[in-house]
Homo-oligomer: A and B are copies of this chain.
Amino acid sequence: MSDPTHNINPHYKKHPAVSYTVDQCKHGIADQNPAILSFLISKAESRIPKDHELLYKVLQDIEDTGHSRVIALSGAPGVGKSTFANSYGQYLISKGLKIAVLPVDPSSNISRGSILGDKTRMEDIVTSAQVYIKPMPSSLSVGGVAPASFLATHICRLAQFDYIFLETVGVGQSEYEARHLADLFLLLLQPGGGDDLQGIKRGIMEMADILLINKADGELESSARNSLDAYKQSLRLMLPNTYGWKPKSGLYSSVSDKYNADLSSYIESYYDYMSSDDRLISLRERQNLHYFDTHYKEILIQQLLQSNNLRAAITDLRNDIQDQKIYPYIALQKLKALALS
């Protein structure tokens, strides 16, 4: 069993060779400069206080106009999320819009293969000056000050991209994380097969604001139409989301342009709906509070564990537990007494 106090004294990562001043960073955000955006995002889960002092100075007085549309892009592995981002991204670019694509994968520190794969599946947009693509650093790190995905999204909002796509891994935790960050949750499904077969949990289905049957082309097209009918039936049984929005569903194909306008109209109607009665403002406010509430204890603990005495006490207590000199409950009580003495 590893010693948890080990994490308190991290192996500080070396600073990257390139660095930027606060002013350069501010301008970089305003200019959507990819190098500077990536520089800032890489600071997001650093544990070096200086990095957060920099982020604090850069971010605190840039206004978030609320312009960016943040869309979670979910679906089982293999459903074609990257290819979708490439195809719909091209459509948005053709309208003169600027987009950011952030693959949100909490396990990306274990296997980064998929993310390299993502870039090759986005070959048509990856070189566009209107596109910024940034795979997320791990948010699993125990010591991370805060999941980088929230901060990365925040930075892209401040850079006023028209669209920010949070591409999830389609299973479990990353979906819920993305739901807490995005305005709109877009779920891609395979033609044919129920949601069980796709490994999509009902809980994830129920988060969808827009549901697309992807790969509606070639020999899968009729199967996609049947699937759409089936999903429309089951969507009818679902409750509207918190704000009363009833999910829309449609077909999509990444090999033709024919469904882009439809999708675009779904997205417009979602934003029209959410913009009235301050729904979008309320959603974003709840997300901001959720972020704060989820992380403030961790922040406080990190501050507390800066104390060498406390860290030494924890190590001693663990040794005593191991040597059966103290019961763990008694050890916790002793620690409590020490904490603020």
Contact = CB atoms under 8 A, between A and B. Distances in A.
Nearest to A333: B56
Contacts of A296: 4, 314, 332, 335
A303 B339 contact: yes
Contact of A59 (B55, B318, B330, B339): B330
Interface in A101-147: 145-146
A241 to B, nearest CB: 16
Interface stretch (A9-17, A72-80, A182-190, A319-327): A319-327
Interface residues of A, number: 50
Given A59-B329, A330-B59, A300 B304 contact: yes
Contacts of A64: 327
Interface of A: 1, 4, 52, 55-56, 59-60, 64, 145-146, 150-151, 154, 285-286, 288-293, 295-297, 299-306, 310, 314, 317-318, 321-322, 324, 327-333, 335-336, 339-340
Which 8 interchain pairs have the tightest Cβ spacing?
A303-B339, A292-B328, A291-B328, A288-B328, A56-B333, A288-B321, A297-B301, A60-B330
